[in-house]
Amino acid sequence: MNYQTLTVSLENHIAHVVLNRPEQFNAMNTDFWRELPAAVHAVDQQGNARVIVISSTGKHFSAGMDLAVFTTSNTIPMDGDPSRMAENLRRAVLQLQDAFNVLENARIPVLTAIQGGCIGGAIDMISASDSRYCTQDAFFTIKETQLGMTADLGTMQRLPHLIPQGIMRELAYTGRKFDAQEAKEIGLVNKVYPDQESMLEGVMEIAKQIAAQSPLAVTGCKEMINYSRDHSVADSLKYMATWQAGMFRPQDMMLTFMAKAQKTAPEFEPLWPIKPLFEQP
């Protein structure tokens, strides 16, 4: 499909999703909320990609929610019967949350490459990715607090699993900016790069290493890590045993062993496409 806010490409099993509204600092307008989940769903469903890299254009990664979403959209009315308004607002927030849930629910890893400002809703987005990388000029802020509201699209739920609780609470309560070095020190980002060019080169190299592995093994890793985050060790071990009983087959291991013996790269079968159960003929 044609996107207004993104560009999407696929090369060597790596899908590259680029936020592409640099003049607006990649603020998340109504098109963005439709297009990002559609793009990630499409990549995941096709089965050819083994990793997704999300980056952006211009000075800033993203300025977060475009305020026009609230001022021009008829889907989030802020007046009328209070109970009906509240029910409608709840459904609207759930839909917005789903736009970032797709990053976590995708079968394949999602890496985010961040330059400049990563503000408000952009924190919600990167928190749902598997790994984060940034340039040395990057800065981050849970901006919603300073605007008189609570961040509601995943930051409060995911960030405490990524960085220490005390620091997370401070950042949420104050809404203060923190820079790339602090983001690295607290574990929010894996690595800081001098500039965007070197960052993209480095992140694509990591993506290349992921794409070289068995896609079934990698999707199993993501499934287990996400499950373990939300469950006890005992429950997670039982789920791991069930996963192995159903999913593990020796084909990919044999391919790996044969490739090592022959000093070549293994060629794995891709994940099967996800097809609707009741597709129109």
Give the pLDDT band (50/70/90) at residue 280.
Answer: low
**Same domain flag for 182 and 54:** yes
- Going from the C-alpha of 55 to that of each of 67, 115, 116, 174, the distances in angstroms are 22, 8, 11, 27
pLDDT of res. 132: 98
Other CB atoms within 10 Å distance of the CB of residue 273: 10
% of the chain with per-residue pLDDT over 90:
81
**Same domain flag for 130 and 230:** no
Give the pLDDT band (50/70/90) at residue 73.
Answer: low
Residue 1 lies in a domain: no
Give the pLDDT band (50/70/90) at residue 281.
Answer: low
Domain count, the chain: 2
Give the pLDDT band (50/70/90) at residue 191.
Answer: very high
**Same domain flag for 28 and 96:** yes
Which range marks the domain in which residue 243 is found?
A: 215-262
CATH number of the domain residue 77 falls in: 3.90.226.10
Last residue of a domain, one of 211, 228, 252: 211
49 vs 89, higher pLDDT: 49
CATH number of the domain residue 239 falls in: 1.10.12.10
The number of C-alpha atoms within 13 Å of 43 and in the hemisphere containing its C-beta is 29
Residue 186 lies in a domain: yes
Residues, the chain? 281
**Same domain flag for 157 and 247:** no
Residue 34 lies in a domain: yes
